[in-house]
């Protein structure tokens, strides 16, 4: 059996024992997002320390809580596989006397990371505070959070790119990091942000800066965070907040969140599977994200 097959079997075996019905989907989402790309298709008997580290290291410093939870879940799946006779030997995901020699303790790096990405459990509270801020830059930050888009994508947005009838924002390829056109389904909350901007607009840019015909500075949203005394956060970090929410708190497939973030698909198999942009499926996800943020 592959690791992913074992993960499915483990979740099925324990589903009824978990008090929270969403727990099983959170397990599935976390393992699909972070473990599967590293070793999900590998025979579970061949999963070793090197492969476990491949899954953990990229997020150990920046998403410590998620990474620590992921390690525990990998360890449990591998323990299940050993008990079932699908593998033998020591568990490569165990912490004491093993991974603790390769990775810093989670508690030791939380202070170093300064929580640049807001925990998704605090998104509602933060958005409520942000809504009290006046000006175009706070509106731009709300829009960036609700769409999970990058700073330059948001401040460069023009009215010509936005179709209010179909609630779609089409970002041209030349403004995308991957050089590929990206369609963003706009939730009612995101449309409301735009509705608040429209009466004040005379130019092409949705979030026009102090100079007519020019967009906001790329520091404008960061300055909002400074005014809110949230220098522990970054604008880009809200993309990680969205990603963590999708993986930990929902049962949306991994590819939907990756599409929403306009990440380049590295696997040829996955790229072939994702020929479309999954726009309508992503729309439901963004509506639920807005609801989580308290901006329905």
pLDDT of residue 166: 95
pLDDT at 146: 97
Of 38, 70, 105, the residue at which a domain comes to its end is 105
Which is it for strands 168-171 and 162-163: parallel, antiparallel or unpaired?
antiparallel
Return the half-sphere exposure (C-beta side, CA atoms, 13 A cut-off) of residue 94: 8
pLDDT of residue 269: 46
For residues 135 and 253, the answer to whether their CB atoms sit within 8 Å is no
Residues 197 and 277 in one domain: yes
Q: What is the mean pLDDT of each run of 10 residues along the chain (296 residues)?
A: 96 86 84 93 96 93 88 97 96 95 82 67 95 94 96 94 95 89 96 82 82 88 94 92 93 89 64 68 96 82
C-alpha distance across the termini of the chain, in Å:
43
In whole angstroms, what is the distance from residue 79 CA to residue 77 CA? 5
The reported pLDDT for the residue numbered 237 is 93
Point out the domain boundary residue: 75, 105, 135.
105
- Whether 115 maps to a domain, the answer reads no
**pLDDT computed for residue 189 by the predictor:** 96
Residue 20 and residue 56 share a domain: yes
Residue 231's pLDDT is what? 87
Using CB atoms within 10 Å of the CB of residue 123, give its burial: 0 to 12 exposed, 13 to 18 middle, 19+ buried: buried
Give residue 25's domain range: 3-105
Kindly state whether residue 197 falls inside one of the protein's structural domains.
yes
The reported pTM is 0.66
Report pLDDT for 291: 96
Pick the last residue of a domain from 82, 105, 128. Answer: 105
Helix 237-249 and helix 136-147, axial crossing angle in degrees, nearest 10: 40
The answer to whether residue 114 sits within a structural domain is: no
> Is 126 in the same domain as 244?
yes
CATH code where residue 157 lies: 1.10.443.10
Residue 112 lies in a domain: no
What are 170's strand-pairing partners?
A: 183
Instruction: Using alpha carbons, select from 155, 124, 160, 123 the residue that is nearest to residue 140.
Output: 155
Give residue-wise pLDDT tens across range 215-259. 999 899 999 999 999 988 999 999 999 999 999 899 898 888 999
Helices 237-249 and 279-292: crossing angle in degrees, nearest 10, is 100
Residues 286, 260: contact at Cβ < 8 Å? yes
Q: Which domain CATH number covers 22? A: 1.10.150.130
pLDDT at 128: 95
């Amino acid at each position: 059996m592959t690791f992913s097959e074992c993960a499915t079997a483990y979740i099925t075996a324990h589903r009824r024992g978990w008090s929270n019905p969403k727990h099983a989907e959170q397990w599935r989402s976390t393992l699909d997002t972070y473990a599967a790309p590293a070793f999900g298709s590998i025979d579970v008997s061949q999963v070793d320390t090197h492969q476990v580290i491949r899954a953990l290291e990229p997020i150990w410093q920046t998403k410590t809580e998620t990474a620590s939870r992921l390690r525990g879940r990998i360890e449990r799946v591998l323990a299940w596989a050993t008990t079932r006779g699908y593998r033998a030997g020591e568990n490569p995901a165990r912490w004491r006397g093993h991974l603790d020699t390769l990775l810093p303790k989670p508690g030791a790096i939380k202070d170093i990371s300064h929580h640049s990405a807001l925990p998704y459990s605090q998104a509602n509270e933060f958005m409520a505070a942000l809504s009290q801020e006046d000006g175009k830059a706070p509106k731009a930050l709300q829009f960036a959070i609700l769409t999970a888009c990058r700073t330059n994508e948001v401040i460069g947005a023009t009215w010509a790119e936005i179709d209010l009838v179909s609630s779609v924002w089409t970002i041209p390829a030349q403004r995308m990091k991957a050089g590929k056109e990206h369609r963003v389904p706009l939730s009612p909350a995101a449309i409301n942000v735009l509705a608040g901007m429209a009466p004040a607009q005379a130019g092409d840019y949705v979030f026009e800066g102090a100079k007519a015909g020019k967009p906001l500075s790329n520091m404008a949203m960061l300055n909002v965070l400074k005014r809110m005394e949230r220098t522990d956060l970054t604008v880009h970090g809200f993309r990680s907040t969205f990603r963590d929410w999708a993986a930990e708190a929902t049962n949306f497939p991994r590819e939907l969140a990756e599409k929403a973030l306009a990440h380049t698909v590295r696997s040829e198999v996955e790229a072939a599977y994702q020929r479309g942009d999954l726009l309508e499926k992503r729309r439901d996800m963004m509506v639920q994200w807005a609801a989580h943020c308290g901006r329905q």
